[in-house]
Structure 1
Amino acid sequence: MVDADQTFVIVGGGLAGAKAAETLRTEGFTGRVILISDERDHPYERPPLSKGYLLGKEDRDSVFVHEPAWYARHDVELHLGQTVVAVDRAAKTVHYGDDGTRASYDKLLIATGAEPRRLDVPGTDLAGVHHLRRLAHAERLKGVLASLGRDNGHLVIAGAGWIGLEVAAAARQYGAEVTVVEPGPTPLHSVLGPELGALFGELHQAHGVRFRFGVRLTEIVGQDGMVLAARTDDGEEHPAHDVLAAIGAAPRTSLAQAAGLEIADRAYGGGIVVDERLRTSDPDIFAAGDVASFPHALFASRLRVEHWANALNGGPAAARAMLGQDVTYDRVPYFFSDQYDLGMEYSGWAPPGSYDEVVIRGDAAKREFIAFWVKEGRVLAGMNVNVWDVTDAVQRLIRDRVPVDTEALADPHVPLDRLAG
């Protein structure tokens, strides 16, 4: 039975919000739980949108965090297709929906996620220009890729980040022609640096993807509302039937900003500033998932992490903090990707310029190896490629923060557990 004396409101129907609601109930919270989402679908996980679901290997129902009946069964009041338009911190209310419905809260969690960055070029209003963030986007893109594959059609992708590369892999597996336009010198340059970024470039080129590095999209050319080509700033024109904008995501902070909550500098990824308990500058408001910028003592920096594991772990951590539990959110960032026959897992945080060297353990040519980003002998990050069951050991090396012998680190015969503390 619900005790109406306390009400916790969650804004955002993604993985972070859904797992926070689940955690409130499993931790014994008996008050009202209200979850408000501007999407009409029940809360779902996003990785399948560019992986299994997009490829047709997973069905639609597999993406949802809980079955639809779970919410009523656990007394979670779910409001789908409703946008929260304002937070009144003084009155401790949120206003949502077209009619400005009000809901009072004792504690509030903002888990509004991120949204795709938009191309600022002529032609983005054409019918064949796509983004990939929501389930509806994936449903549409899935049909587009199948059609392009049947008709030998061309897809131009702006951006060689994770979404761009995963969609490129899916498109090639459907049989579509793919050109990727990327301003950087390699794919994934801002995440993996040139050493490992080049490996992903070679992987995709071996599967027929064409890259144009060091250039930007300047115009999408169309006729009768349909895409015909994409132009780049080197003067080239690339045939295209469809274009995917995969140039990154921006945290959805407008609600928090309008409420007067502190927002992080863009150098730290933007996002809502939270402390180690995921509490914002208002002690009764918390933030988790893609939208939160949290301090991480391990990396001596404030981070905003857009990956699945951050939502999976951050939502429950915020829920426990809302309940007054002693919480320190310091998970090692983790994400994974599947492209063709390459599977990888990445742990840590090592942007270009933060490390001295990349140490390779295994055979990079065969794409069976572990890469370590190392500074002064300390492991900042590790990526295992087609090598499994090593994530715990890699994360222990990162958490140890003690110098390791890089020759031993590179030697597959030396167990990682022997190097980790």
Structure 2
Amino acid sequence: MTTTTEQLSATTLLRFATAGSVDDGKSTLVGRLLHDSKSVLTDQLEAVALASTNRGQETPDLALLTDGLRAEREQGITIDVAYRYFATPRRRFILADTPGHVQYTRNMVTGASTAELAVVLVDARNGVVEQTRRHAAVAALLRVPHVVLAVNKMDLVDYAEPVFAAIAEEFTAYAASLGVPEITAIPISALAGDNVVEPSAHMDWYGGPTVLEHLETVPVSHDLTACHARFPVQYVIRPQTAEHPDYRGYAGQIAAGVFRVGESVSVLPSGRTTTIEGIDALGESVDIAWAPQSVTIRLADDIDVSRGDLIAPASDTPATTQDVEATVCHVADQPLTVGQRVLLKHTTRTVKAVVKDIPSRLTLDDLSQHPAPGKLVANDIGRVVVHASEELALDPYHLSRATGSFLLIDPADGTTLTAGMAGEAFTVQALGRARPC
């Protein structure tokens, strides 16, 4: 007889994020998903019921299942990214409930950076607003392959089909202009439960899937073993024991691809070439390892390798450069300016850098480029050119999320300033390509 654990291990995993403006109902939608899919423990429901009563509400506020911070519960808004894990018989889920307020848009970058699907909520009474367009742009920038438009609060517009159709048409046209490959529109009422888990009896004009049904059936493909092999070195291991006096291994997590004993590899940015002499995983020697395993790689030659170096197949290495051109989302309260000195963190490597140029900033209304803005402020999306003090081995972001992304950090206090995606400009042609590994 198949156990529950065996059933879950055999199901696929979907990472998804929710986004939308303040009070569009993101947390309520997530709470409804958890509640109606029976993924909430009894004591959690009791805690939510008590908190709702203390706030003077007659019925449990399901948004409290995700709004975990005290400040969020008091204000009734989501500030942090709330992660939840749940499962149905058909699929396992990791969801990120991201903030809606404009000043917390930066948190959506965190929540959507590993997502394979984004649920963008729109209040049926308000339609598509600037924050909706911003969230669609971030999803496109991060190359999230599937976007769901959830037109919420349909109960407040009498479940009118024309209202839904107009919003769906406007959003679909905008998202398509960004190059989003797949858009699915669903009319819902998160508060009443319409089309969240169960089909709505109030919208018989809608014949598509519910939100959960779509989440359970959307194609998921995140096979990192088919990607360009990349191994950022995190730690150099030299135990110097009597049993292994000459042991030297390079530990880390395989970012993508497959590595095999005997394979010819290059160490970047030095470019030195050698072969893999051995691979250790969980204390055992293995002949092959793949992403996302954490392993120790031993090389045949005694060459200089340190934290931050990148090991890649000799026949498939990324180019190294000190001048990084990228599209970025600025996430700090302090602006990013030309000439500013920063730290650039790429995989396990951190180097000094300077912002050479900010060629343009994206205007969300019409997706035009505002040339030479001089600076980027919080939540701006723009182009930057950064000169690093050392060579970096970056892949274009459209080929690899792990080795095509980086952070700019304030060297004074360690504040994260900007999240960057190396490679081509923010254009429809660039964003329309396949999702990265």
Provide TM-score, normalisation by structure 1: 0.21
Provide TM-score, normalisation by structure 2: 0.21
As a proportion of its length, which structure holds more helix? 1
Identify which of structures 1 and 2 has the higher relative contact order when contacts are C-alpha pairs closer than 8 Å and 6+ apart: 1
As a proportion of its length, which structure holds more strand? 2
Bigger Cα Rg:
2
